[in-house]
Chains A and B, each alone.
Chain A
């Protein structure tokens, strides 16, 4: 009979508690309480807001995704909190933990569960994206095109401000962005120099502004209001100051604003309508500005 090793670690305590069941029960209870609370009280506060149909859809999408991941977060919280409490060392003695065993049921459950969640979110996101582009830039050949007529506005970025052109108003350009309320708008985003990004926050619109590229975005405005426009791509010294406010106004106000801008624009229109080779900028989907004589 061999002598016992005096240096061997003490045997782990015999633990018959069903920790897994406890965690699952706690998880179910916490999820059942937290998920509806998150969906009801947190979801609608997620940006960007409800200034456009796309903005509202993004809030809805974010609420759904948050509701789906809430049980996942609950599982992590329960697991960690339970682990910290149930498996805390009670003495300074160095002992082995309980042996780890393979459990194919848990593995299958984990793989199936995570796969279902990821595939659901991928399918849900794709479906939502294909409705109308979800406020994102779709490039020059958009695939998610809402039906019906649309009011076109071109967004022209340059270092460091946005200007806006209205082809239906004779190519009128303005440094103010006014949009008619309750209207389907087709934005054409481009740049004259560096890479910028047009971010109309409350409208839920974000699209890269690249030189030589016509990046198309669709947005359906709701009632009158003001929204923030920012550049979302680091573009040089005044990137942080490249912002202004946009306005969604009713039809009468829009007509009045357009008339005022037309009057102002009349002085520069003859120069704008010249060919690009002569320094003009007739309305186009993209621009390749000439004046770089000193640019090196």
Chain B
């Protein structure tokens, strides 16, 4: 076989392998990633941007929202609908009012220190309307944490005795037992800030930290803070 033919065959094989790897990575990214969601911005007095972020945490995301229906997940309210999007666009130097509706039970924190809310206004959260400086770490169901902003809070779980727990998401606030957590924080300069849950809440995975804990679009995401 001539040298040119050999080189051509090698080149074709390399290109074919590259295309196959590209398809594989593309499929993986589609499965693992999350579309971004630009939160509607209201302008307060003086043009200061204010954002209202409503999210819910569910024990099982359900077949309507994911190919992994049993995975635990965060959802965001987008035009009145609960969507599985965990990459959120926010304006810089904005006030962000956050409401978390938690429909999941408690798992407990690996590090109880994280049950102390920090990084929001007053280093305090409202749990079902009651100002709280710390929750019992054993009652923690999830956390919402943006380490680069120093923001962290633990979300208490729905008691095991709840009469009307939500099975699969989306979970209606009016219909199912839940806990409501509210707090306010402020974005700073533009940047790309990851957020995550620190509770080992991935049922059935090694040490509770696989699957949805290691996949953007479930218990992890980004705050895209834009100028």
Residues of chain A at the chain B interface (Cβ within 8 Å): 156, 158-161, 163, 173, 175-176, 192-194, 236-238, 241, 244, 264-265, 267-268, 271-272, 278-281, 289-296
Q: Please indicate the chain B residues that have their CB under 8 angstroms from the CB of A295 in the complex.
A: 200, 202-203, 205-209
A245 to chain B minimum Cβ distance, whole angstroms, is: 10
With beta carbons under 8 angstroms apart, the residue of B148, B150, B198, B205 that contacts A158 is B198
B200 to chain A minimum Cβ distance, whole angstroms, is: 5
Nearest 3 CB-CB pairs, A to B?
A291-B108, A295-B208, A268-B116
Tell me the bound Cα distance from A278 to B108 in angstroms. 11
With beta carbons under 8 angstroms apart, the residue of A173, A267, A289 that contacts B134 is A267
A235 to chain B minimum Cβ distance, whole angstroms, is: 10
Q: Are A281 and B203 in contact (CB under 8 A)?
A: no
The A-B contact count (CB < 8 A) is 112
Given contacts A159-B209, A264-B116, contact A192 B111 (CB under 8 A): yes
Residues of chain B at the chain A interface (Cβ within 8 Å): 107-113, 115-116, 118, 123, 133-134, 136-138, 140, 145, 147-148, 150, 152, 194, 196, 198-209, 213-216, 220
Query: Apart from A267-B116, A291-B140, what are 15 other A-B pairs with CB-CB below 8 Å?
Result: A158-B110, A160-B196, A163-B113, A173-B113, A175-B150, A193-B200, A236-B214, A238-B220, A267-B134, A271-B112, A271-B115, A271-B134, A279-B112, A295-B200, A295-B203
Q: Are B108 and A296 in contact (CB under 8 A)?
A: no
Tell me the bound Cα distance from A23 to B205 in angstroms. 63
Tell me the bound Cα distance from A175 to B150 in angstroms. 8
B209 to chain A minimum Cβ distance, whole angstroms, is: 6
User: Which residue of B has the minimal Cβ distance to A279?
Assistant: B138
Q: Please indicate the chain B residues that have their CB under 8 angstroms from the CB of A279 in the complex.
A: 108-109, 112, 136-138
Tell me the bound Cα distance from A271 to B109 in angstroms. 11
Given contacts A244-B147, A268-B134, contact A293 B209 (CB under 8 A): no
Q: Are A237 and B108 in contact (CB under 8 A)?
A: no
Q: Are B115 and A268 in contact (CB under 8 A)?
A: yes
With beta carbons under 8 angstroms apart, the residue of A158, A264, A265 that contacts B111 is A158
Tell me the bound Cα distance from A156 to B24 in angstroms. 37
CB pairs A–B below 8 angstroms (25 shown): A160-B196, A163-B113, A176-B150, A193-B110, A236-B209, A237-B215, A244-B147, A265-B116, A267-B116, A268-B113, A268-B137, A271-B115, A279-B112, A280-B112, A281-B113, A290-B108, A292-B207, A294-B200, A294-B201, A295-B202, A295-B203, A295-B206, A296-B203, A296-B204, A296-B206
Given contacts A156-B111, A264-B123, contact A241 B147 (CB under 8 A): yes
User: Which residue of A has the minimal Cβ distance to B124?
Assistant: A267
Q: Please indicate the chain B residues that have their CB under 8 angstroms from the CB of A238 in the complex.
A: 194, 196, 220
Tell me the bound Cα distance from A268 to B136 in angstroms. 8
With beta carbons under 8 angstroms apart, the residue of A241, A278, A292 that contacts B208 is A292
Q: Please indicate the chain B residues that have their CB under 8 angstroms from the CB of A294 in the complex.
A: 107, 200-204, 208
Q: Please indicate the chain A residues that have their CB under 8 angstroms from the CB of B147 in the complex.
A: 160-161, 175, 241, 244
Tell me the bound Cα distance from A238 to B224 in angstroms. 16
Tell me the bound Cα distance from A295 to B72 in angstroms. 12
User: Which residue of A has the minimal Cβ distance to B140?
Assistant: A291
Tell me the bound Cα distance from A267 to B196 in angstroms. 23
Q: Please indicate the chain B residues that have their CB under 8 angstroms from the CB of A163 in the complex.
A: 111, 113
Tell me the bound Cα distance from A281 to B110 in angstroms. 9
Tell me the bound Cα distance from A238 to B198 in angstroms. 12
Tell me the bound Cα distance from A236 to B213 in angstroms. 9
Q: Please indicate the chain A residues that have their CB under 8 angstroms from the CB of B145 in the complex.
A: 161
Tell me the bound Cα distance from A293 to B141 in angstroms. 11
Kindly name the residue among A156, A176, A244, A296 whose own CB sees the greatest number of chain B CB atoms within 10 A: A296
Q: Please indicate the chain A residues that have their CB under 8 angstroms from the CB of B140 in the complex.
A: 291
Q: Are B203 and A241 in contact (CB under 8 A)?
A: no
B210 to chain A minimum Cβ distance, whole angstroms, is: 9
Q: Are B200 and A292 in contact (CB under 8 A)?
A: yes
Q: Are B111 and A289 in contact (CB under 8 A)?
A: yes
